[in-house]
């Protein structure tokens, strides 16, 4: 099992702390050996609501900029600051799951999200809006604490199924946030979107505090040592690097598609905000594959299912290019669904593989994994609109297909001169 070693001694300290606290952790968890369907649903809904906060502003950039008198050239900062906050949270807050009692960490992050959302709703200037957006992004990483928390509670035999079911909720939140924000803003104004989310987050605090068991992490290791261990974990865990690259390239392709497709729908099909929202809603159907992915992983099919997901993602860009050439909206919808399904399938397989590694490192593994994905997605978002503007939809499909091709080529190396055990490379 690829775990950090010297000169990062805290891994050994964590292992000893894990043994010392094993009995206490079992008591704190109420001797839970699995997750009930009701508690799994709570985790799924909570993850979806948390991560949706990152995406509410995306379809509202125009009206928000007008209200706050933000120059059109700086309007992109509305999403950039939220994404920067999310990246900071992934790197600085998520690893705390290995140090701080998890229920308190989650509830604390949700309190921060409520404050940030209220700040957005009340903001009268671009500066206050952007500052509050950073806070909301940072606190949205509560979802990335909930996911490994659920993995701790699930038995190994059904861990993939549990992760898949919860990921379906998280991915549903991502996909439904945009159409929800568009509909609410059209009726009640853009500030109402954030007021509603603040109420939902406050309600979620009450629910999670009541239903989540405590999970005491290894506080004796300390936050400083935990953060110092991150480079060693990356260096000594090939599975993290491999799975991170797969998902980083897949999610970069996903972001490129969903950044440019609203522009294409306006320019090529004459759609308004409502039509774009319906298109995004159709794409949410891809989240239905998340539970299927978990079941495939539990049956030992991680490697072939990963390859299939990457190939389907590549084919989706071929279909998208052909559909636009023939001006077929149905074909473009199908391409979006296939891409979303493939990305979600790969993500669940990747999470399940990582969560099969050392339990005491799950928070850090998850934080590092998601940070790399966030970097790839941010880069893709930044260049997708420019590629579409200068090279059209064909250029965008080549860009997205290129990202996926990198993942496919790297996937091929799993079958070339492989000497390490399967768990070190594929996560089976």
Q: What is the pLDDT of residue 26?
A: 37
Task: Quote the DSSP letter at residue 29.
Answer: T
What is the per-residue pLDDT for 76? 60
- The per-residue pLDDT for 333 is 92
d(CA 28, CA 299): 30
Confidence at residue 220, expressed as pLDDT on a 0 to 100 scale: 53
| Amino acid 384: pLDDT | 79
Structure tokens at 191: 């500030």
pLDDT of residue 174: 82
What pLDDT is recorded for position 423? 42
- From the list 215, 158, 203, the residue with the least C-alpha distance to 35 is 158
The per-residue pLDDT for 217 is: 66
pLDDT at 417 (0 to 100): 63
State the pLDDT at residue 197.
97
| Nearby residues of 8 by Cβ (< 8 Å), 6 or more positions away | 228, 229, 231, 232, 233
Of 174, 224, 229, 167, give the one whose Cα is nearest residue 365: 229
- CATH 3.40.50.300 for domain 10-425, yes or no, is no
The rounded average pLDDT for each run of 10 residues, N- to C-terminus, in the chain (428 residues) is: 38 38 38 70 94 86 82 66 86 84 94 97 92 95 89 76 80 83 88 96 96 73 77 90 95 87 84 77 70 75 92 96 94 92 88 78 82 82 80 95 97 75 42
pLDDT score, position 422: 42
């Amino acid at each position: 099992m690829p775990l950090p070693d010297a000169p990062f001694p805290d891994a050994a300290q964590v292992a000893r702390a894990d043994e010392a606290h094993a009995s206490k952790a079992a008591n704190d968890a109420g001797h839970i050996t699995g997750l009930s369907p009701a508690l799994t649903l709570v985790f799924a809904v909570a993850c979806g609501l948390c991560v949706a906060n990152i995406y509410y502003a995306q379809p509202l950039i125009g009206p928000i900029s007008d209200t706050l008198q933000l120059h059109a050239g700086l309007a992109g900062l509305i999403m950039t600051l939220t994404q920067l906050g999310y990246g900071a949270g992934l790197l600085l807050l998520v690893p705390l799951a290995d140090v701080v009692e998890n229920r308190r960490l989650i509830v604390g992050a949700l309190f921060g999200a409520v404050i940030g959302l209220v700040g957005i709703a009340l903001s009268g200037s671009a500066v206050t809006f952007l500052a509050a957006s950073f806070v909301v992004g940072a606190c949205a990483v509560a979802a990335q604490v909930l996911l490994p928390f659920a993995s701790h509670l699930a038995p190994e035999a059904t861990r993939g199924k549990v992760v898949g079911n919860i990921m379906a909720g998280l991915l549903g939140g991502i996909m439904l946030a945009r159409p929800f924000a568009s509909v609410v803003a059209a009726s009640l104004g853009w500030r109402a979107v954030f007021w509603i989310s603040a109420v939902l987050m406050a309600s979620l605090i009450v629910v999670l505090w009541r239903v989540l068991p405590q999970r005491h992490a290894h506080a004796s290791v300390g936050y400083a040592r935990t953060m110092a261990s991150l480079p060693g974990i990356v260096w000594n865990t090939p599975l993290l690097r491999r799975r991170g690259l797969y998902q980083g390239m897949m999610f970069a392709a996903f972001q490129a598609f969903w950044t440019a497709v609203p522009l294409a729908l306006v320019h090529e099909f004459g759609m308004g905000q409502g039509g774009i929202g319906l298109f995004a809603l159709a794409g949410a159907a891809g989240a239905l594959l998340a539970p299927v992915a978990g079941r495939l992983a539990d049956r030992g099919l991680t490697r072939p299912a990963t390859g299939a997901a990457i190939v389907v993602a590549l084919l989706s860009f071929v279909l998208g290019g052909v559909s636009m050439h023939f001006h077929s909206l149905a074909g473009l919808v199908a391409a979006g669904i296939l891409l979303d399904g493939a990305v979600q399938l790969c993500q669940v397989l990747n999470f399940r593989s990582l969560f099969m590694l050392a339990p005491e490192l799950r928070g850090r593994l998850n934080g590092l994994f998601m940070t790399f994905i966030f970097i790839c997605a941010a880069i893709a978002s930044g260049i997708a609109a420019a590629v579409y503007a200068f090279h059209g939809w064909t250029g965008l499909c080549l860009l997205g297909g290129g990202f996926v091709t990198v993942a496919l080529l790297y996937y091929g190396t799993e079958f070339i001169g492989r000497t390490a055990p399967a768990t070190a490379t594929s996560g089976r």
